[in-house]
Amino acid sequence: MSHQPLALKYRPKKFSDLVGQEAVAATMHLMIKNGKTSRNIICYGPPGCGKTTSARIYVKALNCLDLQDGEPCGKCTACIEIDNDASIDVIEVDAASNAMVSDARALREAAMYKSTNLRYRAFILDEAHAMSKASFDTLLKILEETPPNIVFILCTTLITAIPDTIISRCMAFPFRRVSVDQTIERLKFICDNEGFSYELPALREIAVSTNGSMRDAISRLDQLSILLSENFTVEGTRQGLGVPSFTIIKNVLKNSLDKDPTNFWRSLEDIESFPDPLEIVARIEKTVHYAKLVGMSILDPSKIEIERSFVEEIVKHPNFSIDWANNAISKLIIAQNNFRQRSPLTLLRLKSDLSNLLRDPVLVKTTGEKAIYTENKTSQGRNPLISSVNSENTLSNFVTANETVVSDASPKGVDTSVPMSVENLASLFGGSVIVKR
């Protein structure tokens, strides 16, 4: 028997099965329960979060012969037909490629037929934003006075591409990305049901990597279940997802905080051997951002997706400081930017750039030290920050009179009375700052 994709097998069948779309599900459910239904609907939001699924549940509920407190029963002929994709009255089409929708006249004709078996004949127009101008015009006319017993549900990931005239004739339902925690819950449910074994952080890895798309999360679970023989370990899952092993990230940061050049160099070699070193450097940067925000008591560590325990470890390290974090972030950004400019030196340059993580942040005081600002030559054109500077508030504020200032401008609102790290100064200027003592 061929394998039924899990995303299909676990497609929600009633409103209460929908995950992470509480407002939409509750409204649709109440509309059915109270008999205050709408026949022009638009579902919009990011991909894979339940738009088409909700449209189908709604159509099922409209047609169900034995509603259960506003939920489709799932057992009557209407429910079964729709669940099995067997109803000729439910027309689900991809608006981008379907001739019926791209040909405006065909659409008008299709909308004239009465339903055959069901109470309502429903058009679910997926990718509605891709409709032609002529089809939108025709649809607009139809929606102005939707024929009795006809239901239109437009689904789109791009609401801005739908004419306002159409939107204003529809009841609009905004869908949200499904949160990491809610995605994990669903994945757990599926694993338990399928008899997969799993380490919870492995499911978290999948949920984080799919950016709020439940479909992608379930599809990845499906695909990885083959590779991992239905046993989701963290490392196996990370490998399967192409996510760098957590150990690499941890080693780079720990060795740089320890100021241990020998081991640091080893961790750089691990980065080098990874298929996409940039991915790791980006992850390292993300980890440092978290550490900085936790260190500043802005972010509650429990809100961190994956590297939670390690972020807390970094923050507690005796050499950790916010200046260290800012320094590291700017070094990591430079390393990533340089890496993107492919050259035979790319890997050497990456390691050399990353080695700057071993260096302490340099603090510039407003007086007594010399700061030279140089525009970041690698960025194209002038940085917008620089063009918005206030000429009265100059870089001279940061340096003493006898020192050289290459660029005589600084952004507004800079508090020149407090010492500032070179990296902060540089990021304010969108360039780099060289300090000579």
CA dist 219 → 1, 127, 210, 312, 374 (Å): 19, 20, 10, 32, 48
> Which residue number, 76 or 347, has a Cβ lying nearer to Zn ion?
76
Positive/negative CA dihedral, 231, 232, 236, 240: positive
> Which residue number, 79 or 335, has a Cβ lying nearer to Zn ion?
79
Q: Which stretch binds Mg ion (CB under 5 A): 119-127, 303-311, 340-348, 410-418?
A: 119-127
* Helices and strands, number each (H, E), in the chain: 20, 11
DSSP string for 387-418: HT-BTTS-GGGGS-TTS--SS--B-TT--TTS
Strands 432-436 vs 370-374: parallel, antiparallel or unpaired: antiparallel
Other C-beta atoms closer than 10 Å to the C-beta of 42 total: 23
Residues 273-332 that bind Zn ion (CB under 5 A): none
Cβ 7 to ligand ATP shortest distance, Å: 4
> Which residue number, 79 or 151, has a Cβ lying nearer to Zn ion?
79
Cβ 219 to ligand ATP shortest distance, Å: 8
Cβ 155 to Mg ion shortest distance, Å: 5
Spatial distance between the Cα atoms of 35 and 26, rounded to a whole number of angstroms: 14
> Which residue number, 47 or 236, has a Cβ lying nearer to Mg ion?
47
Which position has the token pair 């992470």? 20
In the list Mg ion, Zn ion, ligand ATP, none, the entry touching 76 (Cβ below 5 to 8 angstroms by class) is: Zn ion
Which position has the token pair 């990533």? 336
> Which residue number, 183 or 255, has a Cβ lying nearer to ligand ATP?
183
What is the total count of residues that contact Mg ion (CB under 5 A)?
4
Q: Does 79 participate in binding Zn ion (rule CB under 5 A)?
A: yes
SS3 content of the chain, % helix, strand, coil (to 5): 50, 10, 40
Cβ 48 to ligand ATP shortest distance, Å: 4
Residue of this chain nearest to Mg ion (CB atom): 52
Contact letters (x/-) for Zn ion, 47-66, by CB under 5 A? -----------------x--
Q: Does 21 participate in binding Mg ion (rule CB under 5 A)?
A: no
DSSP string for 166-219: HHTTSEEEE--PPPHHHHHHHHHHHHHHHT-EE-HHHHHHHHHHTTT-HHHHHH
Q: What is the CA radius of gyration of the chain?
A: 28
Cβ 237 to Mg ion shortest distance, Å: 27
Spatial distance between the Cα atoms of 46 and 158, rounded to a whole number of angstroms: 8
> Which residue number, 73 or 372, has a Cβ lying nearer to Zn ion?
73
Among 17, 33, 46, 76, interactor with Zn ion by CB under 5 A: 76
Q: Does 73 participate in binding Zn ion (rule CB under 5 A)?
A: yes
Q: Does 52 participate in binding Mg ion (rule CB under 5 A)?
A: yes
Q: Which stretch binds Zn ion (CB under 5 A): 29-37, 45-53, 76-84, 210-218?
A: 76-84
Cβ 215 to ligand ATP shortest distance, Å: 3
The answer to whether 62 and 37 are in contact (CB under 8 A) is yes
The answer to whether 101 and 131 are in contact (CB under 8 A) is yes
Residues 127-156 that bind Mg ion (CB under 5 A): 155
Cβ 157 to Mg ion shortest distance, Å: 8
> Which residue number, 155 or 399, has a Cβ lying nearer to ligand ATP?
155
3 state SS of 116: coil
In the list ligand ATP, Mg ion, Zn ion, none, the entry touching 218 (Cβ below 5 to 8 angstroms by class) is: ligand ATP
> Which residue number, 52 or 135, has a Cβ lying nearer to Mg ion?
52
DSSP string for 259-286: T-HHHHHHHHHHHHTSS-HHHHHHHHHH
> Which residue number, 226 or 434, has a Cβ lying nearer to ligand ATP?
226
> Which residue number, 16 or 374, has a Cβ lying nearer to ligand ATP?
16
Q: What are phi and psi of 274, to 5 degrees?
A: -80, 140
Cβ 63 to Zn ion shortest distance, Å: 7
Residue (of 203, 210, 218, 227) closest to 4 by Cα position: 218
List, in order, residues 6 or more apart from 298 with CB less than 8 Å away: none
Q: Which stretch binds Zn ion (CB under 5 A): 68-76, 162-170, 185-193, 294-302?
A: 68-76
Cβ 424 to ligand ATP shortest distance, Å: 41
Cβ 101 to ligand ATP shortest distance, Å: 15
Q: Interface with Zn ion by CB under 5 A: which residues?
A: 64, 72-73, 76, 79
Q: Which positions lie near Mg ion, rule CB under 5 A?
A: 51-52, 126, 155
